[in-house]
Amino acid sequence: MKAVRYHRYGGSEVLTLEDAERPTPAEGQVLVRVAATSFNPVDAGIRAGGLQEVFPLAFPHIPGIEAAGTIAELDPGADGHQVGDAVVAFLPMNADGASAEYALVPAEALAAAPKTVELPDAAALPVAGLTAWQSLFDDARLQAGQTILINGAGGAVGSFAVQLAHQAGATVTATSSSRTEERLRAYGADRIIGHLDFASDAVDGAPFDVVLNLVPTTPEENAALADLVADGGALVSTTTPPPENPGRGIRTARVFVVSNAGQLAELVERVDAGTLRITVADRRPLADLPAVHDEAAAGRLAGKTVLIP
């Protein structure tokens, strides 16, 4: 099969489209014929070697931590699935991924793909959708009637977080550049503010019961974000660690997204019910993966890019 692989850590030039052996499912695994994978910012960190203590790789490595596709083969122990089923999954971070024609996926990570979107676009759902879900409901414990600031709402995680927070009955303030403002309003943001200016302390709508930070911020900026949280509220970050104990009864948490097929199925259900939209900024051939890594590094990727083998 064709796969993008790398044989050592490095820049985007290590990503090579080449022939690789089609894998065979071991116990509890299914082989998915990949309709698409999707780029995530963490892919670049893993490729560069900066995360090797957390996600050590065996080389050659196939990147791509999420997939949409159809089941091609399955281990007899992979109960509840059939060849031909359309599925989505968040893959283990340091196993071979989905930048290939076929990928191995633990059966327990699979959810049925949404029926109302084209299968390749469904590859934009698992990681960003689960991150938004776990940030809001597992870490921040967002409740109906609360206020939330979503910093970095214009990206993949933010687009899902705005929709899910709105549906949960929260009043949503979203930071956004002009390119994403209209979409975030349509997704349920009650108030749109520009990117935060940490030099100024006036933030429309503050204090918030919950601040969800999706932007890589400095320790000083994280302290400023904690100042925007109401007494007894929560500051949750998917990027840099928030202050451990900012006082005033504020809880802080750093998010580490985990695979959860039940939550993924819930997200899929909302997509099919028409209440959760998947935003795909671009569909590219898998051979473009090195260019996509370069565009992400240059800040030119505007939203989720799916890659089609």
Ligand X SMILES: NC(=O)c1ccc[n+]([C@@H]2O[C@H](COP(=O)([O-])OP(=O)(O)OC[C@H]3O[C@@H](n4cnc5c(N)ncnc54)[C@H](OP(=O)(O)O)[C@@H]3O)[C@@H](O)[C@H]2O)c1
Binding site residues, ligand X, CB under 6 A: 40-42, 127-128, 131, 151-152, 154-158, 175-177, 179-180, 195, 214-216, 238-239, 255-257, 301-303
Q: Supply the DSSP symbol for 214.
A: -
> CB-wise, 147 or 259, nearer to ligand X?
259
Cα–Cα distance for residue pair 271/266, rounded to 1 Å: 9
- Bond from prior residue into 41 cis (ω within 30 degrees of 0): no
Q: Which of 73, 69, 74, 121 is nearest to 98 (CA)?
A: 69
Q: How far is the CB of 121 from ligand X (least distance, A)?
A: 15
Q: Which of 198, 246, 203 is nearest to 224 (CA)?
A: 198
Closest among 57, 133, 124 to 89, alpha carbons compared: 124
Q: Angle at Cα 279 formed by Cα 117 and Cα 158, nearest 5°?
A: 135
Residue 289 to residue 287: CA distance in whole angstroms: 6
Report the residue number, 107 or 214, with the smaller CB distance to ligand X.
214
CB of 178 to ligand X, least distance (A): 8
At its nearest, how many Å lie between ligand X and the CB of residue 244? 17
**Residue nearest to ligand X as judged by C-beta position:** 155
Nearer to ligand X, 31 or 117 (CB): 117
At closest approach, how far in Å is the CB of 29 from ligand X?
23
Please tell me the distance from the alpha carbon of residue 246 to that of residue 289, in angstroms, as a whole number: 40
Q: Work out how close the CB of 206 gets to ligand X at its nearest, in angstroms, rounded to a whole number.
A: 15
Strand partners, 173: 149, 191
Cβ closest to ligand X, residue 112 vs residue 302: 302
Nearest residue (CB) to ligand X, 127 versus 210: 127
